[in-house]
Structure 1
Amino acid sequence: MSQWKQIQQLDVGMLEHVDHLYDHTFPMEVRQGLADWIETQDWEAAEHNESLAAMLFTNLLDQLERSCAQEHNFLQRHNLKLINQQLQVKYISSPGLIAHVISSCLQEERRILSTACMQQQGPMEMSPHNAVTLEKQRHMDTRVAVIRSSVQMMDQTVKHIEDMQDDFDLRYKTLQSLDPAEKKTDWMKREVTRLQEMLNRLDYKRKEILSKMGDIIKEIDSMVTGQLHPELLDWRRRQQTSIIGGPVLTGLDLLQNWFTVTAQSLFQIKRQLDKLGELVVKVTYEGDPIPLQTPQMEETVKCLVYLVIKSSFVVETQPCMPTHPQRSLIIKTGVQFTTKVRLLVKLPEVDYQLKVKTTFDKNRQFFILTNNTKAMDVEDSSNGCLSVEFRHLQLKEKKYINGAKGNEGLLSVTEELHSLSFEAHFTVLGLSIDLETSSLPLVVISNVSQLPAGWASVMWYNLLTDEPRNLGYFGNPPRASWSQLSEVLSWQFSSFAGRGLNADQLLMLGDKLLGQGACSDRQVSWSKFSKENIPGKPFSFWIWLESILELIRKHLLPVWNDNNIMGFVSKDMERALLKGKEAGTFLLRFSESHLGGITFTWVEQANNGESKFNSVEPYTKSRLAALPFADIIRDYKVMSEGVVSQNPLKFLYPDIPKDEAFSRYYNSPQSKVHPYLPALLIPISELPSNGTIPLVPCSSPEPLMSPGEFHLLHEQLCFNTMSPPYSDLTLTSSHVERRPVFGFSEQVCGGGATSSFNGSGRVLGKPRD
């Protein structure tokens, strides 16, 4: 099933996130109409290859034109034509940008699908949490609805009191206008008694409505402090976990509804209090409850309005560079970044030219280079609430005399935390309100090589604290339990690569980081995770893991998502798993000695019946850029004593036939040894003559052979026969070690010879039949 079809089967909450994803990025009509074609293209590679991006963009337009020609619906055909024109205008000069946009959308879709999958797994674990969450939401919905209904009913009560007072006022003024003689009649006495009764009822109604108002105000106060504010804090916490790869963030629209209804109820109560104040001007009396009680109520309502509106000013989208959409809170100087703030209260009577000013870390070494003030606007998708998106912010480093930066200390650049603040001021219903909020702490880098270390800081902060602005956090960072950290590490793989880590893989990582037998309550220090090198290795645990993530994203994504890569398994466990398996059974695991490398090990049966294990030198991204990994698995050969054997890889562990597991990923035609066929890349490893020890990784593989070198070597191979020193041309995994003497016999190249390539484009000569 295609990725887009899986997306369409998600529930409403997840589809809402997909809808937001395509709001300002890429037309959803194109994603829908060209779903299968889009998913088969390598958009990620095109981001960094201008010619490939241009070719894909041209093909995209061609596909769109064909789709438009086949569309029978007139309106839809018209829309597709407009989209085609808009895409050409926007991306014709920068096709790499649309490749980046589509690649980011596909990655985010995979993350959404992964989140949905995690929510569906483990019903016994997920159901209680979901049940509690739904019950809290229902309770909140009920409280808000009751408050709104009660406030609306008070409108009717105020109107009834106003009518009673008008009737009393009319009768009172009528009696006042009578002649003195008429005032002494029995009728007059009865009218005075009736007026006294009306005044008593009026006094009772005034006290009654003030009592009800007091109860509602107390209920709103209790709800705001006891439920609404905690729900907002919970959303902010979920935003933190979402940023570091956790479940997709939802619930903001629900919060918006609660905030809006609460604020509107408070506005309505304020108007009712104002109306009662007007009634006092017309009719008052000794012991009148309105002037005695309303001042305190008005003050309480005013404080609640301040609290609700100020709390509703939130950072909806944390600062993020469009070039790295899944690495929020990391900003590179000189590179534009975006952020978005939103007011969760619908304000029908506010001046919509509400301007928001953003400032960066006062008294720090960076400043915002671009325009930092922008007006909020009504956002249709958020039911009329105000929001503003800053799309072109850019930081610049301040220049200091003698090169001093003023903030240098023991912390590294990627441990220094900064924040972005947002301020606004407006008046509503006579209340002047100052709004202020800030982003989560962010890291500023000056070189993209600092990105992995910066992301480690972002993960560590958002994993272990819910403090919104603790900029000195890494002065004394807390430890994380392995159970906390392992969950976040699994999130990295689910969000960046589409599939998280299972318990066995996490166990191996725990052993690697903490030693054998690591358990969930073991504590991990910040330094051990990100700064200290792994014993015997020139890199830290996190850098090793990050390089594997990069390798998967660029070269192994389909194979990884189909669960064909065991990945994280120790060498001892690898042999234990393969021992006793049928000859040719192999598994794939990530290298522990190379950054961003993957290797495979297969088992053979020795003459004495014991199992032999052979491992190849790890394939890194530089090697996989030349030949897809699935093709390496398909075409892999081993050369022993000058003889090239058949492919030793037969079954993917535990017993899946190789072609069944990998055939869908094959790109190039399978290589065949046949005269005059075009040369193809074939990965070849040399097995030592005794054939009993695993292949040892080459410490410093030579670079690919240049076209000139290839031509010279090809000329040397154009003989009918080769002299015995054939082994002087030694091949290891995807690598040729050139020796000074080739040792070919000096015959004229008359008969011709065929040749085939190894995994790195090297040539293995073979006489023509």
Structure 2
Amino acid sequence: MSQWKQIQQLDIKFLEQVDYFYDDNFPMELRQVLANWIESQDWETASNHESIATVLFNNFLIQLERQCSQEQNFLHRHNLKRIFHQIQVKYKVNPLHMAAVICNCLREERRILSTASMQEQGPLEKSMQNSAALEKQKVLDNKVAIIRSSVQMLDQAVKYLEDMQDDFDFRYKTLQLRDPVERNSLSMKQEVTTLQEILNRLDFKRKEILSKIADVIKEIDALISSQLNPELKEWKRRQQIACIGGPVLIGLDQLQNWFTLTAQSLFQMKRQLDKLGELILKVTYEGDPIPLQRPQMEEQVKYLIYHLIKSSFVVEKQPCMPTHPQKPLIIKTQVQFTTKVRLLVKLPEVDYQLKVKTTFDKDLPPGKVNRQFFILTNNTKVMDVEESTGCLSVEFRHLYMLDLAFVSLLQGPLSVTEELHSLNFEAMLMLQGLDIDLETWSLPLVVISNVSQLPGGWASVMWYNLLTDDPKNLGFFSNPLRASWSQLSEVLSWQFSSFAGRGLNKEQLNMLGDKLLGQHASYNDCQVSWSKFWKENIPGKSFSFWLWLDSILDLIKKHLLPVWIDGYIMGFVSKEMERALLKEKEPGTFLLRFSESHLGGITFTWVEQDENGDPKFISVEPYTKNRLNALPIADIIRDYKVIADGVVPENPLKFLYPDIPKDEAFGKHYNSQQNKVCPYIQTQLVPISHRNGPVQNACSSPEPPMSPGMFEIITQHISPFEFESAVKSVYSKILSV
């Protein structure tokens, strides 16, 4: 079943997450009509190679144009043509961007499918998606609606007051025009009495309206302080979690709706107070409540408008390099990065250009960092109204960072990847007599100068965003907090679901817990220090825990992705557990696990029977990315041979643990190129291990495996002894575990 069909079968809560990342950059209509073709292309490679991205972009347009011509529904055809032209204009000069966008969408789909397939959610994910949060949102929806209704009713009350005052004003002026001789007449006295009654009602109505306005102001104040601001804070926390691989970030449009409706209520109340100010210019009297109470209420409304709009200025998309879309908050010097800010309040038309200026490490106290940087490209852009949301936003797409080399030479207690920086955004909004200074900050950034620093930078980003929600705590790594294993294990699983489309199960996480903490009855209460996670080497190894795990992620992403997604790589299993699992299985049963001695290596182990019928466990030297460049893992498993005592090579791999026939598990991943018609004699690279008598130690030869043609020539022209020596120099041997 295609990935897109699997997505369409998910529950609504997961479909809402999918809906979030399909936008104007890549409309969902395209994903639907070109689903199979899109999934058959290598967008990952294209996102890093401009020539491949250009070819894919042109093919994409051809496929879309063909789909347009075949579409029978007039409306659908019209929409596809419109999208065709939008895509053509948007990505013509930057096909790499389109490849990165589609690659990210497919990756997020896999992550959501992985999350949906996991039986249990971790504590962090549960806290992001619990029923109490949904109930709070319903309460907030209701509260905002009630306030809007109250403000609408105040509008009617002010209109009624204005009509009442006009009636009084007309009667009063008419009375003033009457002949003074009639002042003592009965009709005159009755008219004066009527005017006094109207004035009394007018006074009562003014006090009533002012009292209601005061009540609504208190309600809005409470709404902002006790509900809107906490919801915004929770969204920012969810953004942190999404940045490190957690659940897809949703809810910003909902926040925008709440902020906008509340702002509209405040602006409407400001107009109502302005109207009351106009009314007292026509009619006022001793003890009039409007001049006594209105100034204070007006200040309160302005204060609420100011702070509501100010808090609605947010970083919608945290700084990120397009080359590493799943590792935001890491910036490499002299490499383009993007970021986006948004104003959640939809404003009346602004009759001037609202400019946003971005600054790096603004107002950072001296001595806080060893390195200093500046933005090379234009750091000021104008906010535009987005068609899809109607809000003001601006995306900085071509920011570049340079460092001041003479400052960067200074040494300090923190490493490069522990040094945190900040990107600041400022704008000045002038609206209805209010000058609102808008300002917001990105989450702390790590700035690297070499890709070798990327694993350390990502470790810092994960650790920081897992353990603190203070966006200005740039000195965090001077005294980093510890993480509980229950927190950290969930984040580690997210790395595999977000980067490789499949998270880790309980057994795999337990093995990682053993690796990091030693064997414990319960890991959840164990605390992990920052040094143990990233800085200290694993006992007996020359690398740290995270560096080892990150190298495995890189190996999966580049060489093992389809097999990993299918769940055929057990991956994290100790040698002891491996023996226990294979012990009772049929000879030839094997499993795949990641090497604990190599960075970024995978090996397979199978079980055999010795002369006494006892189980014997055989493992091959780990395959690293250099060797997997020559031959995919599925083809290695299909063609793997063991040569023993000159006997014709055989494949010892029969069943993937627990009992899946090898071809059933890996068949769809076999390289089909060998089946193509070719005028030459076909060759096939065959991975071979040599065994003669007792199993030997592994060889570290990086050479690719031998083709059948070469094997036949060698065996025909040299003796078994010479052949054995040749094999030893070329192929990896197997070792007993």
Tell me if TM exceeds 0.5. Answer: yes
Alpha-carbon RMSD across the aligned residues, in angstroms, is: 3.1
Which of the numbers 387, 393, 396 marks the counterpart of 1:390?
396
Distance 2:466 2:397 in 1: 27
Distance 2:91 2:221 in 1: 52
Report how far residue 128 of structure 1 moved.
Answer: 11
The residue number in structure 1 matching 2:238 is: 238
Match for residue 379 of structure 2 among 372, 381, 384: 372
Aligned partners of 1:616 and 1:697 also within 8 Å = yes
The answer on 1:531 being equivalent to 2:535 is yes
Deviation sequence 1:53-100 (CA, Å, 0-9, x none): 666566555545654554445676677678778878887888766544
Whole-angstrom CA distance in 1 between matches of 2:171 and 2:49: 89
> Which amino acid in structure 2 is aligned with residue 389 of structure 1?
E
Shift of 1:538: 1.1
Give the whole-Å Cα distance in 2 for the aligned partners of 1:188 and 1:298.
Answer: 40
Residue 690 of structure 2 contacts residue 733 of structure 2 at CA under 8 Å; is this kept in 1? no
Gaps of 5+ in 2: 365-370
* Code of the aligned partner of 2:666: F
Match of 1:470 among 441, 459, 473: 473
In 2, Cα distance between equivalents of 1:569 and 1:599: 11
8 Å CA contact 2:317, 2:341 repeated in 1: yes
Residue in 1 aligned with 2:663?
659
Structure 1 contact 314–343 (Cα < 8 Å) conserved: yes
> Which residues of 2 match residues 252-651 of structure 1 at below 5 A?
252-351=252-351, 353-362=353-362, 365-382=372-389, 384-400=390-406, 404-405=407-408, 408-517=411-520, 519-651=523-655
By how many angstroms is 1:6 displaced?
A: 2.6
Q: How does 1:46-57 map to 2 (within 5 A)?
A: 46-47=46-47
SS of equivalent residue, structure 1 residue 565: coil
Change (3 A) 1:205 1:72: closer
**Contact in 1 for aligned 2:686/2:705 (Cα 8 Å):** no
Q: CA deviation at 1:52?
A: 5.9
Task: State the Cα distance separating 1:520 from its structure 2 match.
Answer: 0.7
SS of residue in 2 equivalent to 1:696: coil
1:385 is displaced (CA, Å) by 1.2
- SS of the residue aligned with 2:408? coil
**16-25 or 637-646: bigger deviation:** 16-25
Amino acid at match of 1:321: M
Counterpart in the other structure of 1:743: none
Distance 1:735 1:44, change over 3 A: farther
Q: Secondary structure at the match of 2:358?
A: strand
Distance 2:57 2:277 in 1: 67
Relative distance call for 1:269 and 1:479 in structure 2 (3 A) is: same
Summarize the Cα distance change of 1:427–1:18 in structure 2 as closer, same or farther, 3 Å threshold: same
Query: Which SS does the other structure have where 2:572 is aligned?
Result: coil
Kept in 1: contact 2:588–2:606 (CA 8 A): yes
CA deviation profile, 1:123-157 (whole Å, cap 9, x unmatched):
9x969963212211110011100000000000110
Q: Which residue of 1 aligns with 2:367?
A: none
> Against the structure 1 CA distance between its residues 721 and 573, is the aligned structure 2 distance closer, same or farther, given a 3 Å change threshold?
closer
Instruction: Report the CA distance shift for 1:197/1:69 in structure 2 as closer, same or farther (over 3 A).
Output: closer
- 2:393 is matched by which residue type in structure 1? S
For 1:479, the aligned partner's letter is R
Asked whether 1:140 is paired with 2:140, we answer yes
Deviation at 1:721, TM superposition (A): 6.4
Q: Residues 96 and 715 (structure 1 numbering): CA distance in 2 closer, same or farther, change over 3 Å?
A: farther
Compute the displacement of 1:277 (Å): 1.4
**How far apart are the structure 1 equivalents of 2:34 and 2:476?**
47
* Distance apart, 1:679 and its partner CA: 2.2
> Which letter does structure 1 place at the counterpart of 2:21?
L
Q: Which moved more, 1:81-90 or 1:150-159?
A: 81-90
- CA shift, 1:408, in A, is 3.5
Residue 586 of structure 1 contacts residue 649 of structure 1 at CA under 8 Å; is this kept in 2?
Answer: yes
Higher Cα Rg, which structure: 1
Is 1:686–1:732's contact at 8 Å kept on the other side of the alignment? no
TM-score, with structure 1 as normaliser: 0.87
| 3-state DSSP of counterpart to 2:611 | coil
Letter matched to residue 725 of structure 1: E
SS at match of 2:541: coil
Equivalents in 2 of 1:577, 1:706: separation in Å? 32
Give the deviation of 1:678 after TM superposition: 2.3
Pair 1:84–1:253, CA change in 2 (3 A):
closer
How far 1:216 sits from its partner (Å)?
A: 0.7
CA contact (8 A) 2:701 2:729 kept: no
1:62 and 1:465, CA in 2 relative to 1: closer, same or farther beyond 3 A? same
Amino acid at match of 1:395: M
| 1:419–1:171 distance in 2 versus 1, CA, 3 Å | same
Aligned partners of 1:27, 1:597: CA distance in 2, in Å? 38
Alignment of 1:222 onto 2:222: yes
User: How big is each residue's C-alpha offset from its partner over 1:593-614, in whole Å with a ceiling of 9 and x where there is no partner?
Assistant: 0111111111112222211000
Structure scoring higher RCO (CA < 8 A, sep ≥ 6) equals 2
Question: Percent identity at matched positions?
Answer: 70
Residues paired across the two proteins, number: 721
SS at match of 2:209: helix
Corresponding residue for residue 752 of structure 1: none
Which residue does 1:8 correspond to in 2?
8
2:633 maps to a residue whose letter is F
Tell me the distance in 2 between the aligned counterparts of 1:436 and 1:230: 19
Specify the alignment match of 2:697 in structure 1.
Answer: 696
Question: 2:631 and 2:56 mapped to 1: Cα distance?
Answer: 20
> Which residue in 1 is equivalent to 2:105?
105
CA 1:654–1:141 in structure 2 vs 1: closer, same or farther (change >3 Å)?
same
